[in-house]
Amino acid sequence: MAGSLRTAVVAIAVAFTLPDLVHSQPGRAPAAPPAYPHSTATAASSNPLHRASGPATSAVRLPAAFERNKGQFANGLAFRVRTAGGTVGITDNGAITVSGSDTPRAGSHHVTSFHLVGGRRVQPVGLDPAPGHVRYVQGKDPERWIQDVSLYRQVRLDRVYPGIDWEWNIKDGAIEYDFILHPGAKPRRIALEFGHSVMLRVVDGALNVTGEDGVTEHRRPRAYQQVDGARRDIPASWRVEGSRARIVVGRYDPGLPLIIDPVIAWSTYVGGAAAEEASDVVVAPDGSTYMAGSATDTEDAFIAKFTAAGALVYATYFGGSSTDFAPALDVAGGLVYFAGGTHSSDFPMVNAAQPQFAGGRDGYAGALRADGSFAFSTFLGGTSIDHLQAVATAPDGTVWMSGVTLSSDWPVVSPFQAAPGGQTDAVLVHLSASGQLLMSSYFGDAGCDGASAVAVASDGSIYVGGAYSIAVITPFPPFVACSSAQQGRLVRFDPAATSTTWSRLLPGTLSISGIATQANGDVWVTGTTTSGTMPTTSDAYDATCGTDGSCNAAADGFLSVRDGAGLQTYGTYLGGAGWDDAAAVAVDNVAGTAWVVGTTASTDWPDAGSTGQDAFVLRFGAASHVVNYASRLGGSENDRAWGVATGALGAYVVGSTRSPSLPAQRGALAGPSDAFVAYIAALTNLVFIDTPASQSKVLPDFVIDGWALDDSGPAGPGIDAIHMWAFPLDSAGAPPHFLGVAQYGLPRPDVAAAFGARYGSTGYRLAVSLPGFGRYMIGVYGRSSTTTQFSAVRTIIVEAADRARITIDVPRAAASVSGPLTVSGWALDPQATGQTGVDGVDVWAFAAGGTEAVFVGAAFYGQDRPDVAAAFGPQFRFSGFHLITSHLWAGRYTLAAYPHYTGTRRYGTPAIAPVQVDPGPMVWVDRPVGSTTIAQPFTISGWALDRRASTGAGVDQVLVYANKLPDGPGAPAFEFLGVAASGMPRPDVAAALGAQFVNCGFELPVSGLQPGFYRIGVYGRTPNPAPGTFPYFETWTGIIEVR
């Protein structure tokens, strides 16, 4: 394979954080109140300028990195680069291995190795760490999972010959090795031994190594020296001596260092080379990008997460000993949910609803935490073939999944259809955010059903789409089969999925592959049809299937937009004279656009293209259904698109490519098929607000600043005025308030770096005054210098308050927590002078469905919050609070964090956050009670247990600490008080939680403390912590005065 080497371990996305755009009604006079914005940008988002600028279309493949071996590879390897064509390994003694695959499951591949003749055995060292880490979660035994594998761009072997270092580097996606010759070193010492199983020859200056798997090419060496600050090239070439190859260099200065750097590449692997397929992509509200797919060399699935700036956070490979299919994705609440299918009976299970493999192929479902570790995973299936094909998160934080089953014993829970209806049935699954199986049901009739797409609307309604065909009699067992004349079926369920609102069969021979919901209640449905009988509307983009009305005996994609009753309001074919299929659709409800992606083999659609197949991308106006962007995405070979995610700056398309020329800034193709994510820019005009952030609390007088541009004009920033309005949200019918005209044209070199020099003066700023306290929607309107219309608006929601601000950052609203509960955030009084105006935060929990309140604890206050200081001023830097507790019972609560003002010496209005606490470790302090005064000696007592324990209390040690609060400025002092006596009888706890926990009490007598104010911390230790969690859990009392 000609080209660079890239690793399948590091998957990537062009990830940026996108502002949410809202378009106002054009032509609104600047002096008159504008129309109320259609929607608001309330999701957390950071600046899109984190991304680098580029062409309107750009794509990135999986970049390469050296992985340190922590047991995921064969013994003896120290580092490895896994590529689409095979693997390159560096052994513990410095030998190099090159193979077509590193796993027997991908086929038998010959391993080519070479080493230095007469070289010193040197332990390789990883240098230049690459961002992120890799996990291998393979099999059911957590002890064998490989965590936090480090990645490097360079590996060095020092002094392999006297005065000669050997470096392996990744540059521009290619792998090369350099010989660094220090002054006086002799290049004639360098010789590579390949053995007699390969043939060596020099072709056009390159060393070709021909083995059973094809040709490995070591390109013509480049040699040079730095002389007086300038690079001087030195002639260099390969020379073959039997099974050895030497590098011959021309005249050079032996008193200066000499660099020799061949590049290694592949060409024409004859079979079995590895490939990667990307299956789905999602973008989180914070701009993080998640990519899913499968690595065919290991037959494992993978999920990779990237920051808004494009840096790898993690890549997690998971699976068992058989084939694991690439998953579908969605993201919510800091977790990425996934669903797919597996033949592996040893697929990794964590907190599983169905821990055992049922047989054949089972569906799998799960979620990854922010660090790439498993939050939960489970089988879902019966004894035949089952596969989960789609996943969607709901507004209430739960998760819906759909798929197909051939099993008569699919696991049903609270089903609306308890038994299979036909040969194959669709399935619908409802999980809690923590993986609890809430509902699982068949749905289908006597024919053949499947459900390849699922979406959840803002009102909680569930839409499921797939294929349906009738059952036909056959003369061979099993005498019943599914008709090839399948139709698409779209079903709407109520939010609880107890019944269907409606079910619609889409006419024609077709199948549904993607569904997206629109804010106005419409549903966008896409897929593939092989008949010309699907109805189109008068405004169709393409009213004909193929060019002959019958799809040219091939196939076309289709798009059908349905209203809330399931009736078609727009319908069109998508294709040309060849084979075309539409794979996915996504709607941007803020920008008012919809995107459809798929694959085309037509040379005449959507524009004149290349031979072979390309991905295609279409952008529609969500309201007008007019196509305003249509393009191929591909290069000289076959390319496919499988998924799409949207943002206000464009769309992200995920797929696979064989083309070395897919648009991007990178090296040549690494192997037969790469996973890629392409970004399609959709700039027209946009406004972005830097400060304040949406949903923030502000003083009535504050400053709004940001940037705005319009690229529709021929030159200049495209914006000539910025107007701002405030819409009161707490007073129905209150008129909008004009805030003023901003100063526009301020320098923004960051915008120029991202979008071009013409946008270097696009900043704006305005000091505003709100008419009163309460919640407001702020609209920032940009006027286009081309159209003179206020054609773009960015909105945020702020709350103007007159006293303290307090925010709970963690946990997020509606989050599920298993184990110790962390509550953190910030609190301040903006009217305070000198310090933050707050000296403490008390946290309470109110149980759902009742008025009972539980004191959670007094938070540690005064933590460093530079982000708060940036928003409110340096005096508020140490306004953070943090509390970890383990004494809440399982259940639903509303957390309330109360700030204590230094000015009034009273508690203020709390910040609140609903939360679900799942069974886990708990610790409770009975004595002493916070806000009391006690004399020494005294006893600290309470109880500690782990509700996940199979026997006993689940706690083997209890540690007690005292936190003495300082009398003045300075850090609190921590003192270890001792190990408490544990295992004491607590019949009251046993009566509440079960007899197993009767011996969960603890006690510790205390004396000798210096008088003062303290908080007491109790840490319990569980001998069997959940995977990836700390064995200790804790709680802290309120402030106690000790005398």
778 and 836 together in one domain: no
Supply the pLDDT for residue 898: 87
Residues 787 and 842 in one domain: no
CATH of the domain at 788: 2.60.40.10
Give yes or no for residue 206 having a pLDDT over 90: no
Instruction: Give the containing element (helix H, strand E) for 987.
Output: helix 987-993
Q: Using alpha carbons, select from 504, 416, 496 the residue that is nearest to residue 456.
A: 496
Non-local CB neighbours of 297 within 8 Å, separated by 6+ positions: 8, 82, 101, 102, 103, 105, 106, 274, 275
pLDDT at 52: 26
State mean pLDDT over 757-778. 85
- The answer to whether position 36 is within a domain reads no
Q: Is the pLDDT of residue 642 over 80?
A: yes
Range with the poorest average pLDDT among 315-319, 395-399, 768-772, 1008-1012: 768-772
Greater pLDDT, 288 or 348: 348
Tell me how long the chain is: 1043
The DSSP call for residue 324 is: B
Q: Are residues 256 and 138 in the same domain?
A: yes
Same domain, 104 and 252: yes
Chosen domain end from 749, 775, 800: 800
Concatenating the DSSP letter of every residue in 179-245 gives EEEPTT--GGG-EEE--SSSEEEEETTEEEEEETTEEEEEPPPEEEEEETTEEEEE-EEEEEETTEE
Is there a contact between 921 and 1022 (Cβ–Cβ < 8 Å)?
A: yes
Question: In the predicted model, is pLDDT for residue 17 greater than 90?
Answer: no
Pair (147, 249) in one structural domain? yes
Q: Which of 42-56, 83-97, 138-152, 667-681 has the highest mean pLDDT?
A: 138-152
pLDDT of residue 792: 67
Query: E strands within 622-673?
Result: 627-633, 639-647, 650-657
Q: Please check the confidence at residue 13 and state whether its pLDDT lies above 70.
A: no
Range in 471-475, 682-686, 890-894, 1017-1021 with the lowest mean pLDDT: 471-475
Do 241 and 145 have their domain in common? Answer: yes
Q: Which of 7-11, 471-475, 582-586, 736-740 has the highest mean pLDDT?
A: 582-586
Instruction: Calculate the average pLDDT of the chain.
Output: 80
The reported pLDDT for the residue numbered 665 is 28
Q: Is the distance from CB of 557 to CB of 582 less than 8 angstroms? A: yes
Do the domain assignments include residue 298? no
pLDDT range class, residue 608, cuts 50, 70, 90: low
The yes-or-no verdict on residue 575 having pLDDT over 80 is yes
Predicted pLDDT of residue 421: 87
Q: Evaluate whether 821 touches 917 at the Cβ level (below 8 Å).
A: yes
Give the pLDDT of residue 435.
95
Indicate if the pLDDT at residue 108 is higher than 80.
no
* Range of the structural domain that residue 718 is part of: 685-800
| Distance separating alpha carbons of residues 235 and 221, to the nearest angstrom | 9
Asked if residue 648 lies in contact with residue 18, where contact means CB atoms within 8 angstroms, the answer is: yes
pLDDT grade for 482, boundaries at 50, 70 and 90: low
Q: What is the mean pLDDT of residues 897-923?
A: 81
Residue 860: inside a domain: yes
Q: 822-839: per-residue pLDDT in tens?
A: 899 999 887 777 788 888
Q: For the segment 133-143, what is each residue's pLDDT rounded down to a tens digit?
A: 899 999 999 99
- Mean pLDDT confidence for 1011-1026: 86
Among candidate residues 919, 947, 972, the one where a domain is terminated: 919
Reduced to 3 states (helix: H, G, I; strand: E, B; else coil), residue 3 is coil
- Range with the poorest average pLDDT among 34-43, 697-706, 1022-1031: 34-43
Reported as a single tens digit per residue, the pLDDT across 667-707 is: 222 333 466 777 676 555 678 888 888 777 777 778 899 98
Amino acid at 854: V
Is residue 310 domain-resident? Answer: no
778 and 834 within one domain: no
Q: Which of 85-99, 111-125, 599-613, 677-691 has the highest mean pLDDT?
A: 111-125
Same domain, 582 and 691: no
Average pLDDT over residues 300-315: 82
- Exposure string over 134-165, b if 16+ CB within 10 A, otherwise e: bbbbbbbeeeebbbebbbbbbbbbeebbeebb
pTM across the whole model: 0.61
Residue 356 has pLDDT above 80, yes or no: yes
Considering the domain architecture, whether residues 674 and 754 belong to the same structural domain is answered as no
**Token digits for 100?**
């077509």
Which of 153-157, 599-603, 604-608, 682-686 bottoms out in mean pLDDT, i.e. has the lowest?
682-686
Q: How confident is the model at residue 24 (pLDDT cuts 50, 70, 90)?
A: very low
Which tokens belong to 512?
């549904």
Quote the tokens at residue 376. Answer: 């939960």
Residue 48 has pLDDT above 80, yes or no: no
In a domain, 358, yes or no: yes
Pairing, β 933-934 against β 1040-1042: parallel
The better pLDDT of the pair 271, 210 is held by 210
Task: Please compute the mean of the pLDDT values over residues 532-548 and round it to a whole number.
Answer: 92
pLDDT of residue 845: 86
**pLDDT winner (highest mean) among 128-132, 140-144, 437-441, 963-967:** 437-441
Closest CA to 680 of 650, 702, 721: 650
State both tokens at 421.
């209806």
Segment 701-728 shows an average pLDDT of: 84
pLDDT reported for residue 344? 94
In a domain, 300, yes or no: no
The pLDDT of residue 663 is above 60: no
Percent of the chain with pLDDT over 70: 81
pLDDT greater than 70 at residue 732:
no
In a domain, 29, yes or no: no
Q: In the listed set 640, 663, 679, which residue is the last one of a domain according to the structure?
A: 679
368 near 348, Cβ under 8 Å? no
812 lies in the same domain as 941? no
How much is the average pLDDT of 869-896? 85
Say whether both 340 and 424 belong to one domain: yes
Are 958 and 1012 in a shared domain?
yes
- How much is the pLDDT for 611? 65
Distance between CA atoms of 345 and 960, rounded to whole angstroms? Answer: 44
The CATH number of residue 880's host domain is 2.60.40.650
* Residue 24 domain-assigned (yes or no): no
What integer pLDDT is reported at residue 994 of this predicted model?
Answer: 85
Q: Residue 833: which residues within 8 A CB-CB, separation 6 or more?
A: none
- Comparing 428-432, 662-666, 942-946, the range with the smallest average pLDDT is 662-666
- Total of domains in the chain: 5
End-to-end CA distance of the chain: 78
Burial label, 989 (beta-carbon count in 10 A; 0-12, 13-18, 19+): buried
CA 133 to chain centre: 14
408 three-class SS: coil
Six token digits for residue 544: 């004909």
Per-residue pLDDT reduced to its tens digit, 374-390? 999 999 999 999 999 99
DSSP 939: E
**Cα of 939 vs its chain's centroid, Å:** 48
